[in-house]
A = this chain, B = another copy of it.
Amino acid sequence: MNLIGTKWKPLVLFHLLEGGLRSGILQKKIPGISNKMFTQTLRQLEKDGLINRKVFPVVPPKVEYSLTERGTSLEPILRSLDAWGMEDCKR
């Protein structure tokens, strides 16, 4: 799954700890992430079974991401990374 060895995954997960978010809002919480890496990271996390993707059939599109149970189980790790002041979680 490679949570480690990737720049953005932990960051994305961290911002979902407080609850699900709309795509756009989540992205704004991660300054510096490119459009591409944002969706690419989400796709991977979804494939890893760590997040849910919920699409609302409206226009313009609305998509919400939230942690799965498995994703939530990472909370201790994500919080300790944050507490420790890991660069990648500071942004």
A residues neighboring B (CB under 8 Å): 1-7, 10, 73-74, 76-77, 80-81, 84, 86-88
**In the complex the two chains form, is B86's CB within 8 Å of A3's CB?**
yes
Residues of B within 8 A of A77 (CB): 77, 80-81, 84
Sampled A-B contacts (8; CB under 8 Å):
A4-B7, A4-B81, A4-B87, A5-B88, A76-B80, A77-B80, A77-B81, A77-B84
Interface of A is mostly: loop
Q: CA of A81 to CA of B78 in the docked complex: distance in angstroms?
A: 10
Supposing A4-B7, A5-B5, A5-B6 touch, asked if A84 and B80 sit within 8 A by C-beta, the answer is no
Q: CA of A73 to CA of B47 in the docked complex: distance in angstroms?
A: 32
